[in-house]
Structure 1
Amino acid sequence: MSKARIALLSNPRSTGNLSQLPRIRAFCAEHPDIFHYEVEKADQIGAALRTIARVRPKVLAINGGDGTVQAALTELVNGNHFEGERPPLAVLPNGKTNLIALDLGAQGDPVEALKRLLELAEGDLTDHIVARQLIALSSDGAAKPVIGMFLGGAGLADTMLYCRDKIYPLGLPNGLSHVITAVAVMVRQFIGLRGKFLPPSPAPIEITVRRHGTLSGRFALLAVTTLEKLLLGSDLRTAGKGPLKLVAVEHRSSSMVRGLVAGIAGRLGRNKVDGVHVEEADEISIEGDRSSVFLDGERFEAGIGKPITLTPASPLSFVRLAA
């Protein structure tokens, strides 16, 4: 096959693609130097990458939510689909959360982002390439680690489940769904209401940070990431002591407020905040009684004596779309 400037891997079932994919297909049809490949299931991504490797793209772009990106990262790291150096990755803004796209400067309309990527691919990409460390998640019985960039657990995972199971089925716009979820969390936390119509209180978990000790208790938020930006676009300031960045906020109203203020002010990880734990490490394990975590949109469950273990994976190159 001839060499394509951009190979675009799309997941038509991603929520954002329900409305945007026809426009993306039309744009690709007008630009023959874009090789567009669509998959509907995660287990098709390996075969897709083997086909994409044959066109030797200058850039591999992913059009889908964080879960689609995570499945592609897992195949790229664990598989051997490209001979020699893998092409840099670009992530179009799509899906429901798109923390990865946000971190790489891709915001707004996915077709405009694709136009920008096509412009960049016409020249030297060197100044737009950034390396990103990845997270390898290993769990009991898994044949190979799952690769991602952002993990949410404890109260954050409960909130994500609540939004997915209770709010998204209402068919509301994503932004409104997230606002309703945030209000429900605040009502539970600050007013003290309980009920099936509200997110549950987080269960106790144990977080072991290699060389830093163990954190135990109930946490309103648990995040492990290699990204430079967290939720709400807040920057995480760290000292570079480890590739995995951990943020754990204790399940107390005062700790949640202090953590939120520190994140908005850009002081998260820079100053010590009571009830807010920020650590850097090269290995983290999470254990709890059927405690859920989400790695880039995919759910995993830790059990007593069956921890989830997080370690660094080999970094990959990404295209940063922001100027």
Structure 2
Amino acid sequence: MTLTTRISRLQAGTAKIGCLLNPLGGQVRKRAAAIREALRAIPDLMVCEAQDALTFKTTIEQLLQADIDLLVIVAGDGTTHAIFGHLFAARAPADWPLIMIVPGGTTNMTPLDLGMQGKPEQIIQRLHHYLRQPTAPHLVQRPVLRIEQPDIPAIYGMFFAVGLVARGVKFSRSPVKQIGITGGIFTALIMLRSLFGMLFGRQQSAWSPVTMTLTEANGRMHRGTYLFTLVSALHCLLLNIRPYWGKEPEPLHVTLVDQRHKRLWRSLWPLLSGGGHVLREQEGYYSHNTARMTIEMDDEYIVDGELYRSAPQSPITIAATEPVTFLVL
């Protein structure tokens, strides 16, 4: 079924809607009763709960076989990342249902960047109201990162990072996560710890920079040791951080900060606030937009908060997929 047909059904009030709920998501655990009540209020909504790789796969297969027009994901970035993998393995994005992501996890960069503001149950209630009085839907299209290494199945996600950002995510998997903090406070804690590592942790192996070679689609090569490298299809990251300033008309944003940076204290605000155009490549700050690149390194990296490991002599290729269509309420 075409995307146009699914949009027409949604606008006509005849769309078939399925929901994948991860009961282990950080926000879902805190607000489970209110979220489930809001979901139960939507007539004919097909709700499936899934919480691990196997149930994610079987649930997506079940929902696709039901020929739903809209897939509502109530979960965080990690679950959405896993669902993307199963969807891409099953179909091309043109044959997907529309996607709506309700921020139900510990970190929710993707739905927040798309414009999904509010508590999970409030967003579900907005969906219920929309379905009762449908109008032309507000749709946002974004590509997804396709990350490939030899002999490893492709990985899909919205955000890739190495260096201190990956170290910060690894820190978040430590006992600090067992405290039960979620949402903005947890995000701020991770960002502050990463910032501390950036400023003071260069000599500590746990917070060391990453040595890598990044080759752009046009053949330009960046080789060195970097505090961090970010690649994203998102415009804003956690806490509304906007560390990109490339002007090229390409879908993926890339930023590198060299270990030999200058004036880091003075550069932090423009680097994080979207004012990076004042930073200079000669001083260790570089950002551009592209559709494809290759990275060679022997280190850990993250995709949407999930930790992976690269291998020597095993280049990582990152490319933009065709756009995915999201419903935003």
Matched, 1:260 2:271: no
> Is 1:114 aligned to 2:121, yes or no?
no
Q: How far off is 1:69 after superposition?
A: 0.7
Given candidates 138, 141, 144, the residue that maps to 1:134 is 144
1:274-316 per-position Cα deviation (integer Å, ceiling 9, x unaligned): 3221122222222222x11111122221122012211111211
Unaligned runs of 5+ in 2: 1-13
**What RMSD, in angstroms, separates the aligned Cα atoms of the two structures?**
2.9
1:231 aligned residue: 238
How has the CA–CA distance of structure 1 residues 305 and 255 changed in structure 2, closer, same or farther, with 3 Å as cutoff?
A: farther
Deviates more, 1:169-178 or 1:206-215: 169-178
Determine if contact 2:140/2:326 at 8 Å carries over to the other structure: yes
1:87 paired residue among 84, 89, 97: 97
Would you tell me which structure has more helix in proportion to its own residues? Answer: 2
Partner-residue secondary structure (3-state), 2:100: strand
2:46 counterpart of 1:35:
yes
Tell me the SS of whatever aligns to 1:74: helix
- Could you give the per-residue CA deviations for residues 180-221 of structure 1, whole angstroms, max 9, x where no partner exists? 44444444444569669xx52223222222215222223222
Distance 1:124 1:142 in 2: 43
Question: What's the counterpart of residue 275 of structure 1?
Answer: 284
In structure 2, the CA distance between the partners of 1:87 and 1:270, relative to structure 1 (3 Å rule), is farther
Letter in 1 for 2:309: E
1:125-158 deviation per Cα after TM superposition (whole angstroms, max 9, x unaligned) = 6440111111101123213x22111112111101
Q: Which moved more, 1:275-284 or 1:46-55?
A: 46-55
CA distance in 1, matches of 2:311, 2:229: 16
**Cα pair 2:261 2:285 within 8 Å, conserved:** no
My pick for the range that moved more, 170-179 or 227-236, is 170-179
Q: Structure 2 vs 1, CA of residues 294 and 254 (structure 1 numbering), >3 Å: closer, same or farther?
A: same
Relative distance call for 1:241 and 1:259 in structure 2 (3 A) is: farther
Counterpart of 1:311 (choices 313, 319, 326) is 319
Going from structure 1 to structure 2, the CA distance change for 1:255 and 1:315 (only over 3 Å counts) comes to farther
C-alpha distance in structure 2 between counterparts of 1:298 and 1:131, whole Å: 23
> Contact (CA 8 Å) 2:215, 2:294: kept in 1 or not?
yes
Deviation at 1:253, TM superposition (A): 6.6
**Whole-angstrom distance in 2 between the partners of 1:270 and 1:189:** 20
> Where does residue 9 of structure 2 map in the other structure?
none
The alignment partner of 2:143 has SS state of: strand
- Residues 51 and 226 from structure 1, CA distance in 2 versus in 1: closer, same or farther, beyond 3 angstroms? same
> Aligned-pair distance for 1:81?
9.5
Is the Cα contact below 8 Å between 1:248 and 1:277 reproduced in 2? yes
Task: Give the equivalent residue in structure 2 for 1:12.
Answer: 23
Q: 1:134 to 1:30 in 2, by over 3 A?
A: same
Task: State how far apart, in whole Å, the 2-side matches of 1:252 and 1:177 are.
Answer: 30
